[in-house]
Chains A and B, each alone.
Chain A
């Protein structure tokens, strides 16, 4: 079955972000397809590559990045939520003249149209947050 996952929760604030990750991993292990990951609102913090986590703690952002790369997932971070929260890719960083990139390159910053597209093309949309 083809799933899309929507994450509204930030890591370390809400268990929902970690649950979304675990759920996505289980889907892949069971042979399901992920059409798209969509990070919205505080969920955009899951794509922050500048997080530093104690050694005995889970680095969720890094785990998402690895999962996305390993499985070649389509991962979208809502651009308006992201720039509000300082999650910038190369392009936004240049546009805002901020000289810093905080988003993992494995996710793309894009608009809500990508969420609607996922709604149309997935068998299931699962929300976390």
Chain B
């Protein structure tokens, strides 16, 4: 973007499982809109939010859109910084091999840095 003051760093923190409540869907909508409008987006998954990244989700049975499929397309929108809280994975006994590709495992210290460095944080 020509004018750098119109480009901000925005960090999204998603903390809810993909179905049951729509927080995960709302966060995705905001993150995609931010990317489409040229913002610099970091996307962090923690607590139950990590379940959004599990492979082989099929939400057809509950007549919902499969969130995991949408999350696989983040890089097409220019969202390359997709981070997963390693501690949340360990607490739930989930291995990184069970997640969709192109996500980075990060520590809570690194998440704190993403929050600190962002111009705006959305935590849902």
Chain A positions within 8 Å of B, measured between CB atoms, are: 6, 8, 40-41, 111-113, 115-116, 119-120, 122, 125, 127, 129
Contact = CB atoms under 8 A, between A and B. Distances in A.
Nearest to A116: B37
A37 to B, nearest CB: 15
Contact of B33 (A6, A113, A127): A113
A42 to B, nearest CB: 8
Contact of A113 (B5, B8, B37): B37
A112 B30 contact: yes
Contact of A115 (B5, B23, B30): B30
B122 interface: yes
Given A125-B120, A127-B123, A129-B124, A119 B8 contact: yes
Interface of B: 5-6, 8, 10, 22-23, 26, 29-30, 33-34, 37, 39, 119-124
Given A120-B6, A120-B8, A127 B30 contact: no
Contact of A116 (B22, B26, B39, B123): B39
A6 B122 contact: yes
A40 B122 CA distance: 12
A127 B124 contact: yes
A127 B122 contact: yes
Nearest to B119: A119
Given A8-B124, A113-B33, A116-B33, 10 more contacts: A8-B26, A40-B26, A41-B23, A41-B26, A112-B29, A112-B30, A119-B120, A122-B120, A125-B122, A127-B123
Contacts of A113: 33, 37
A119 B41 CA distance: 12
30 contacts: A6-B122, A8-B23, A8-B26, A8-B124, A40-B26, A41-B22, A41-B23, A41-B26, A111-B33, A112-B30, A113-B33, A113-B37, A115-B30, A115-B33, A116-B33, A116-B39, A119-B8, A119-B10, A119-B34, A119-B39, A119-B120, A120-B5, A120-B39, A122-B120, A125-B120, A125-B121, A125-B122, A127-B123, A127-B124, A129-B124
